[in-house]
A and B are shown apart, each in its own frame.
Chain A
């Protein structure tokens, strides 16, 4: 039932009071959820910042290792080793529930490999290729970890935005409107009561006069 359809009666007042109580409870819960999500966001943002710093370090190391491998084996040797990769690195996706928000969890799959799993022949390559492969495997794992944190932040921010809109709607529109409606119904009912009293007095006076 829309607010405009509520009649200024006792039952209307009860409906408004019930709605008011519900809105206040929802507001309190959403505010708590918002605070919780904000705390979670701050925690994940700190982690994401540190993950990104590590990512930059690992990227710099991977570049350096690639430079050394390319110097020692040539771009040809590095490319041939890269072409030997048989199991393509990937990741699996799962979700964890935080305050009702599905946050992504990414698990690297076939990213870190032992020397014999890499596909290149050990006798055709040097340790520089192993170092470069190690560095890029670390980088790839870190990219996945960073993407996981970034995904969490994006989801949390979306949810925070939606929740904040709902909290604001409750706080600045729904609850004030219901309060206004309650005041209106209460004053209207008081007015009706006063009119009733006046009417009863007049009826009483008319009856006394007839006697």
Chain B
């Protein structure tokens, strides 16, 4: 236990290690170089990197873009599990809560695979054991024949109460989507609760998380409004994540807004329009793009029942990450350096995947570049 006002040496050590690990991630120059390479070239380049030894381990089993993706996923799992060994105290608790995202993805893949009786090796390849549920437990779950057995085996998991609450019959239509949505809501609630308990950098992290929730809600609202059959308000209520800076009621009002004035008026009261304007200014090199223009842009897509533009979503993610990094530099020995590293690592893997897959589909570098988060 450390005295108030003093930072424990273990915290200083952990934060310094996370900062150093972050500097070792692939840089903008690395991405520019990789972007000019072919898929085998990328494999060779990554194989020479100290941090991507998984490439050499997997080269006999996989090839091309699949090799890069599987190796990057395994690298992510290894890096996150290593991060858990560095983190101590509240850093450890926060890292554990943050990494529950991968547990959710793994558990849902296993439950769906078991219910639909898919080949176990096929499911195993999809798992990224970066969270609390390690490879041995996931392998045990994969060995079970029914989803009832899998549910029973998950009793010790921190998110098991959600499964218990929403699981009724194995394979019930729509049950998995409902459970998955609830698991993610509980995931965000858990993170927000932990952050609200008070720690160094938690106030900033709280703002970061709440903004992420707002953006996710806005994107999902656009997704739900898209399509020939617009969903009802109860679906919107079930899908919005509580805890963001924008209350769910604002999203309800947006959903019912029928004129441009009402819609943009509500939107301009939120923090979405300014961030979107900043993202579009960066993406299109248009310094005159205002919040009002951003609100109009969202209205246009809303009115035409269109989904969010992927490139703009990625630009917003870039802005979010840059803000997290600048905050982590301001609060050097808080939870933020660890979160900044974990998020950067997550997007490094996403970037490599985007490059490998984009190249496998013969997309030109200028088409792939907007999907890179730097």
The answer to whether B177 and A116 have CB atoms under 8 Å apart is yes
CB closest chain-A residue, reference B65? A75
How many chain A residues touch B (CB < 8 A): the figure is: 35
The answer to whether B307 and A122 have CB atoms under 8 Å apart is no
**Is A187 on the interface with B (CB-CB < 8 A)?**
no
CB closest chain-B residue, reference A87? B173
The answer to whether B180 and A114 have CB atoms under 8 Å apart is no
**Is B363 on the interface with A (CB-CB < 8 A)?**
yes
Which of the candidate stretches B23-31, B83-91, B101-109, B248-256 sits at the interface with the other chain? Answer: B101-109
The answer to whether B231 and A114 have CB atoms under 8 Å apart is yes
Please pick, from A64, A68, A80, A122, the residue contacting B223 in the complex, using a CB distance under 8 A. Answer: A122
Mark A90-104 against chain B: 1 for CB-CB distance below 8 A, else 0.
000000000000000
Given known contacts A76-B69, A87-B173, A115-B231, is B112 in contact with A123 (CB within 8 Å)?
Answer: no
Q: Which residues of A contact B231 (CB under 8 A)?
A: 114-116
| Interface contact tally, CB-CB below 8 A | 125
Whole-angstrom distance between the Cβ of A114 and the nearest chain B Cβ: 5
Q: Which residues of A contact B73 (CB under 8 A)?
A: 74, 76
Please pick, from A67, A83, A118, A119, the residue contacting B361 in the complex, using a CB distance under 8 A. Answer: A67
Given known contacts A71-B358, A80-B126, A83-B112, is B308 in contact with A127 (CB within 8 Å)?
Answer: yes
**Is B285 on the interface with A (CB-CB < 8 A)?**
no
Whole-angstrom distance between the Cβ of A61 and the nearest chain B Cβ: 13
Among residues 290 to 346 in chain B, which have CB atoms less than 8 Å away from a CB atom of chain A? Answer: 307-308, 310, 313-314
The answer to whether A115 and B223 have CB atoms under 8 Å apart is yes
Main secondary structure of the interface of A (DSSP, over half): helix
Interface residues on B, range: 35 or more
The answer to whether B241 and A123 have CB atoms under 8 Å apart is yes
The answer to whether B126 and A130 have CB atoms under 8 Å apart is no
Whole-angstrom distance between the Cβ of A116 and the nearest chain B Cβ: 6
Bound CA–CA A130/B176 (angstroms)? 17
The answer to whether A75 and B66 have CB atoms under 8 Å apart is yes
Bound CA–CA A70/B235 (angstroms)? 27
Bound CA–CA A63/B371 (angstroms)? 17
Mark A30-68 against chain B: 1 for CB-CB distance below 8 A, else 0.
000000000000000000000000000000000110111
Most buried by A among B113, B180, B224, B239: B180
**Is A121 on the interface with B (CB-CB < 8 A)?**
yes
Interface pairs A-B: 8 shortest CB-CB:
A121-B180, A67-B361, A123-B184, A127-B307, A71-B354, A70-B357, A74-B353, A121-B177
| Inter-chain pairs besides A75-B357, A83-B116, 10 sampled, C-beta below 8 Å | A70-B361, A71-B354, A76-B125, A80-B108, A116-B174, A121-B176, A121-B178, A127-B219, A127-B222, A131-B307
Tell me the A residues contacting B by CB distance below 8 Å. Answer: 63-64, 66-68, 70-72, 74-76, 79-80, 83-84, 86-87, 112, 114-124, 126-128, 130-131, 134
Report 9 cross-chain contacts, Cβ distance below 8 Å, ordered by A residue.
A67-B358, A71-B371, A72-B310, A75-B66, A79-B126, A86-B173, A112-B228, A115-B223, A130-B226
